[in-house]
Amino acid sequence: MTAEIVLEPRAAGGRRFEGKIAVVAGAGQGIGRATARRFAQEGASVVVGDFVAGTAAKVVDEIKEFGGSAVSYVGDFSQWEHAQGLMAKAHEEYGRIDCAANIVGGTIWLQSYWYYSPEQIIAEVNKSFWPSMWLCRAVLPYMIEQKGGSIVNLATHAVGSLYRVPYAASKGGVMGLTTSLSKEVAQYGIRVNCVAPHGTDANDRVTPRNHNVDVSSDHVPEEEIQAARASMNGVHVEREVPMKRKGIAEEQASAIVFFASEDASFISGQILPVGGGATYPF
């Protein structure tokens, strides 16, 4: 497995975000943390948004230790008030928002759709759909006023996978948010794109995906539980990914930061699969 990329300032030619402000929601671990670090590595001041204060603070410290600028905001971005608060914090601290990366969500349960209770479905949608909706809505007034900015949402390969219909539907909604919103805001110089990762190792995970959620599956047959676990633990990688491995968080961050950069200045409304050659139903 590829080792984590060391956080250090890049040469002048590789600092695409010098003087820019990047907001990363879900930045405490995994792809979000790698994205926040990559923005900082390329010169951005970073607002680290996360659900857990300790992990947010750790990422801020990492960025500051190598000379970057960062502040944190702790909130539940499935709630409008917290999404709004994150963007207000960024604008209050730095005066503008150039990039917003919405790296929030993740499967809670793995089971066939008919085993999901209404409460489980609501929990999945709250976790993986509403944050991107609220975060996009919260950042737009700032970007429209400044007549420019870039938004990058995170989707998933799992829109076509087994055992996670509510999650797949939620991230499918994020794709629709991306493609539709991009057309509305292009007139203001705002770009909106989406990265769709395949299985990605997150060796720094502190907070489980099912944080504060009852994930008991006593009503699900044991054979289905085993099949779902096998799918999650890599069997699907051998079947679906031509490169025969999972990605690492830094590989996803590279794609996210590319979309946010001026290197992608004429790209908007796109869904980019980052999955080792895996094909997708879109």
Is 167 in the active site?
yes
How many Cβ atoms from other residues are within 10 Å of residue 95's Cβ?
10
Nearest to 264 by CA among 97, 99, 49: 99
pTM: 0.87
- What sections of the chain are H helices per DSSP? 30-41, 53-65, 80-94, 118-128, 130-146, 165-185, 222-230, 236-240, 249-260
Q: Give the Cα separation of 179 and 141 in Å (integer).
A: 19
Q: Give the Cα separation of 24 and 184 in Å (integer).
A: 22
Mean pLDDT of the chain: 88
- From the list 113, 163, 167, 188, the catalytic residue is 167
176 or 10: which leads in pLDDT: 176
pLDDT, one tens digit per residue, over 65-78 is: 989 999 999 999 99
CB 241 within 8 Å of CB 199 = yes
pLDDT, one tens digit per residue, over 193-243 is: 999 988 777 765 565 555 455 555 567 777 777 776 666 555 566 677 777
Phi, psi of 252 (to 5 degrees): -70, -40
- Which structural domains are found in the chain, ordered by start? 17-274 (3.40.50.720)
Residue 282, pLDDT score = 46
